[in-house]
Structures are given as C-alpha cells and as structure tokens.
Amino acid sequence: MENIEPQELEECCHEHDGRKSHHSEKTKKNLVTRLNRIEGQIRGIKGLIEKDTYCDDVITQISATTAALNGVAKLLLEAHMKSCILERVQDGDHEAIDELLVTIQKLMKK
C-alpha cells in the first residue's frame, strides 16, 4: 500500500453545503486506476464462473479482488484520518473520533 503524502491532500470533507472529500488529482487518479483494475477483476471472475472454472481458482481470484478493494479502502481511510479527522479534531469537533471508530469497525467486519 502506498502512503498518501500530506502535500497530496487538499481540504477534505468540509464544504458549506455538506461534507465532501477534496483529494488531489494525483490521489483521485490513483484511486480510479485501482478501481478500474478491480472492475476488470470482477468481470474476469464473472467470466470464470460462466466458463465453469474450478471453484478454487475462482475463489483465489475473489480473494485477490477483495485484497485490492481493501487496499483502496485503506488509502481512503489514511487520507481521511490525515486530513478530515485531524482538521475536525483541531477545530474542536471530537465527534469526529466516534465517526472514525464506526468507520474502522465497518472495515474490520470484512
């Protein structure tokens, strides 16, 4: 997993009409590239099932795809913690920590 550098982060999650992330173009491109690759993996898995590929081989591909998707989630969580959560806590919004804990619990269910 590659780390997101602080200079790659822009103001995150705050906008006057609601919360919204503001990732750098480099970060967005990285995430979209990863998601495009995952989308291809999903299509490949579908093809394996349609071709009656041996179950263990399909499960191996599902495992690889799950790991790739978890990698995207980890990158987003890192950016969220380094920008959104940090900024909110510095602004005195300690509910951000509770929100972060819920988010981590959701990720850990997988």
d(CA 54, CA 52): 6
Instruction: Please indicate, yes or no, if residue 61 is contained in any of the structural domains.
Output: yes
CATH number of the domain that residue 99 is part of: 1.20.58.1000
Q: What mean pLDDT is predicted for residues 66-85?
A: 93
Note whether residue 95 is domain-resident: yes
The residue among 61 and 4 whose pLDDT is bigger is 61
How many structural domains does the chain have?
A: 1
Residue 66's domain comprises: 23-108
Q: Is residue 16 part of a domain?
A: no
With respect to residue 17, please indicate whether it lies within any of the assigned structural domains.
no
Nearest Cα to 59, choosing from 72, 70, 48, 43?
48
| Whole-number Å distance between alpha carbons of 10 and 72 | 18
Residues 1-41: tens digit of each pLDDT: 455 554 554 555 554 346 777 778 888 999 999 999 999 99
List, as one string, the DSSP characters of 32-97: HHHHHHHHHHHHHHHHHHHTT--HHHHHHHHHHHHHHHHHHHHHHHHHIIIIIIHHHHHTT-THHH
Mean pLDDT of the chain: 86
CB atoms within 10 A of CB 88: 20
The pTM assigned to this predicted structure is 0.77
Q: What are phi and psi of 41, to 5 degrees?
A: -65, -40
Residue 17, CA atoms < 13 Å, CB-side half-sphere: 0
Residue 6 within a domain: no
